[in-house]
Amino acid sequence: MPVPPPNLYPPFNIVRLSHVELQVTDLAWARAFYADLLGLQVTHEVPGALYLRAMEERGHHCLILRQAAQAGVGHLGFKVWDEGDLGKLADWFRARDLPAEWVDRPFMGRVLAVRDPWGVPLEFYARMERLPAIHQHYALYKGVKPLRIDHFNLFSSDVDGAVSFYTDMGFRLTEYTADEATGRSWAAWMHRKGGVHDIAFTNGTGPRLHHTAFWVPTPLNIIDLLDVMATSGYLDCIERGPGRHGISNAFFLYVRDRDGHRTELYCSDYQTVDPDLEPIRWDLKDPQRQTLWGAPAPRSWFEQGACFAGATPRESDLKATPIVAP
């Protein structure tokens, strides 16, 4: 995969991923999972929906839980630099014959709702209501002590296409997995905010959301969470980990809620602000790219994901047999 030239830039500035709307079938259960168990702070509650933020965030929410008849993902939210960027983004999507419309969202005012070429619903905003800082209200910390939303990871039926499209939007590649046989990309990690990724794409039936990740202080917080989950009725929600990823170098744990939505608890990746940062290439046959320490992931981790509202997943024509744990 050629390194995208670092100085070709679109006319708008996407600052970072911001929030996700998860559709859940049991809002009370989801509240217990995300707020009480994981430790996100509830910032707003209306019948049928819950807004939450992580401990160092000052934006109003990074997670919306919405009661629904079936599980799904409403949209992925991104913050842009200023209002002017929104108009330029609208033009940019329309110029590509992609849907782009203005919607009103609570706590944000005018929001640009678009679809990427595979149908992923993206929402862009410039200003979200700001809340008082609570990162030094240590008595409020609980669960895994989530500090901030870190990234989205999507199954994609066309990883090379996604990399090209998101590169054009200003996302920069940090690491990727190459399929030797075909010369195509198996997976790619792309960032805006200076870490390993704001969004990643993995080959598979897509588009589907593989997981949303939250940054936590240290590996010990993840170990604490495991101990609590294992002994308070959440054992079956532990899917994979703890471990160290080869890709991103992060310490990780994957957990899943009752609707199958996957959350990664994540820490200790690295800074990527250099424009000449060389993307790191991994071979699809190198098992350490997934877990540096060698343990394989379970089959569910390779296969299961959540559908986006209004988008129909397609199978990828790129096949590989993952090394799985039973």
- In the complex, the residues that contact a copy of itself under the rule CB under 8 A are 6-7, 15-16, 56, 58-59, 79, 81-82, 127, 130, 133, 135-139, 141, 147-148, 193-194, 217-220, 223-224, 226-232, 235-236, 238, 242, 244, 246, 249, 251, 268, 270-271, 273-278, 280, 288, 292-294, 325-326
CB of 290 to a copy of itself, least distance (A): 12
CB of 200 to a copy of itself, least distance (A): 18
Taking the least distance from each CB to a copy of itself, the nearer of 22 and 147 is 147
Say how far apart CA 115 and CA 98 lie, in whole Å: 6
Taking the least distance from each CB to a copy of itself, the nearer of 231 and 312 is 231
Taking the least distance from each CB to a copy of itself, the nearer of 28 and 133 is 133
CB of 175 to a copy of itself, least distance (A): 10
Taking the least distance from each CB to a copy of itself, the nearer of 161 and 296 is 296
Cβ(119)–Cβ(311) below 8 Å = yes
Say how far apart CA 127 and CA 81 lie, in whole Å: 9
CB of 267 to a copy of itself, least distance (A): 9
Residues 6+ apart with CB under 8 A from 276: 6
CB of 223 to a copy of itself, least distance (A): 6
Taking the least distance from each CB to a copy of itself, the nearer of 103 and 133 is 133
Encoding tokens for residue 112?
């640009």
Cβ(111)–Cβ(124) below 8 Å = yes
Say how far apart CA 209 and CA 201 lie, in whole Å: 9
- With CA atoms as reference, report the closest residue to 17 among 151, 123, 114: 151
Cβ(178)–Cβ(188) below 8 Å = no
Q: What H or E segment, with its residue span, contains residue 299?
A: helix 299-303
CB of 100 to a copy of itself, least distance (A): 22
CB of 118 to a copy of itself, least distance (A): 27
DSSP E strand boundaries for the chain: 14-24, 41-46, 49-53, 63-67, 72-80, 100-105, 109-115, 121-125, 148-156, 172-179, 184-191, 199-203, 208-215, 238-244, 251-256, 262-267, 280-283, 297-298, 306-307, 324-325
Taking the least distance from each CB to a copy of itself, the nearer of 149 and 200 is 149
Q: Looking at residue 232, what DSSP letter applies?
A: T
Taking the least distance from each CB to a copy of itself, the nearer of 118 and 171 is 171
Helix, coil or strand: residue 80: strand
Taking the least distance from each CB to a copy of itself, the nearer of 2 and 47 is 2
Q: Output phi, psi for 84, to 5 deg.
A: -55, -35
CB of 216 to a copy of itself, least distance (A): 11
